[in-house]
Amino acid sequence: MPRDVRRHAPRAILAAFALILPGAAPVAALEAGTLLLGVHAVTGAGDYAAEQGGYFVPDRRQDVGLSGDGWWFFADGVALALAGRLHAGRDLMRAPGLPDRVVRSAAWSARAGLDRFVEIGDGVHLFIGPGVEVWRGRASHEGVAGPGVVNGPRTWRVSGCGRLGALLVLGDSFALTGHVDCRVGWAEAAWEDRSARWAPGGVDGAAGVVWAF
């Protein structure tokens, strides 16, 4: 992503939310009944699979994507956290006298968990909590075995995770937020009579804007 886009995207997202979501509740009052909705840019490792010597082998790749997140506070400072994400990646490899190799990846994931929020300063909250994530993705390889595209198998991943994040209140109804999510789980890729199973772990990151209702 161009540097100028990265620098100005948060402001553009914030301005859009200010225009389309009027009448929201104060972010600073994270009391029972409060609802936070947000959009985040995310990055993390995708656990894909590729064919090698007749076997499926793990093929980890770095992805970026977008996430829609929601927190519903069923008690003061304690929220049910839900998120849905779309991920994508593209790796390009070039060498003199050889055809280009391109690896494209696409995935989706969903996460559910609980977060505990603690205010540590004026308009600054930390949150921490456990969760469960389900992820599914597939990668394709171009230029590996002659012309054409070789599609890899679809991979399922289920992980237990824990995250730590911060929320910075910028106004009565909106805030910036970011978090890191550490996870460990189980993954499987299968097609016809071939399969692979492994136990991946990793760290994901996200940053974005939230609005309170």
List the domain range (segments joined by +) for residue 173: 3-212
Please provide residue 44's backbone torsions phi and psi, each rounded to the nearest 5 degrees.
180, 175
The span from the CA of 66 to the CA of 88, in Å, is 9
Question: Per-residue confidence at 155, pLDDT binned at 50, 70, 90?
Answer: very high
Over residues 34-58, the pLDDT tens digits come to 999 999 999 999 999 988 888 999 9
pLDDT value of position 172: 81
Closest CA to 109 of 82, 84, 138: 84
**CA quadruple 93, 96, 99, 100: dihedral, nearest 10:** 20
Domains in the chain: how many in total?
1
The residue with tokens 């995250």 is 163
**Model pTM above 0.85:** no
pLDDT value of position 115: 97
Average pLDDT over residues 62-67: 94
Over residues 3-16, the pLDDT tens digits come to 454 455 445 444 44
Which CATH number goes with the domain that contains 53? 2.40.160.20
Asked if 78 and 93 touch (Cβ cutoff 8 Å), the reply is no
The span from the CA of 83 to the CA of 191, in Å, is 29
